[in-house]
A = this chain, B = another copy of it.
């Protein structure tokens, strides 16, 4: 399936935002992309260039029952966090095996050697965020500003 044919017209730009409709969770397996050396990979969809992120790369992912990464990987500069939002599976980090499931959050240092698989009978859905290690300076309410402006919505 051509990724662009189904998704390129689902973007809306404002002065200070970009919004994109990636589709329901049940559609995640239909995403695909070309990876040099691996060919067409299904169930992986990168969001950085789609919405213009400048501080992280994010992918939304679906791995079918029995599926798994065919390689281990580490990173050079970037920390990663895996947010599992549906299903069950396993991660292997530096040879250590972790059972993961809906609600598992796994942060990995750049040099953690990682791979993962879906050893269940249902799709495994997860979000991966990759950002430069130690790049955050202030955060949460410490970075937020709340102007004096009442919230109002149309009826």
Contacts and interface: CB of A to CB of B under 8 A. Distances in A.
Interface of A: 12, 14-25, 27, 35-36, 46-48, 50-58, 60, 68-79, 81, 83, 85-86, 90-94, 96-98, 100-109, 111-113, 115, 117, 119, 127, 129-141, 143-147, 149, 151, 153-154
Contacts of A139: 48, 56-57, 78, 130
B105 A50 contact: yes
Copies of this chain held together in the complex: 2
By Cβ-Cβ distance, the 9 closest A-B pairs, closest first, are: A16-B112, A55-B131, A135-B135, A57-B139, A51-B107, A16-B109, A22-B103, A19-B106, A17-B108
A54 B79 contact: yes
A34 to B, nearest CB: 11
A131 B135 contact: yes
Contacts of A17: 93-94, 106-109, 112
A146 B37 CA distance: 12
A19 B54 CA distance: 26
A60 B134 CA distance: 21
Given A16-B111, A55-B132, A130-B140, 10 more contacts: A14-B93, A17-B108, A21-B103, A21-B104, A24-B103, A25-B102, A47-B105, A57-B139, A117-B153, A119-B153
Contacts of A134: 54-55
A106 B50 CA distance: 10
Q: A25, A79, A94, A129: which has the most chain B beta carbons within 10 Å?
A: A129
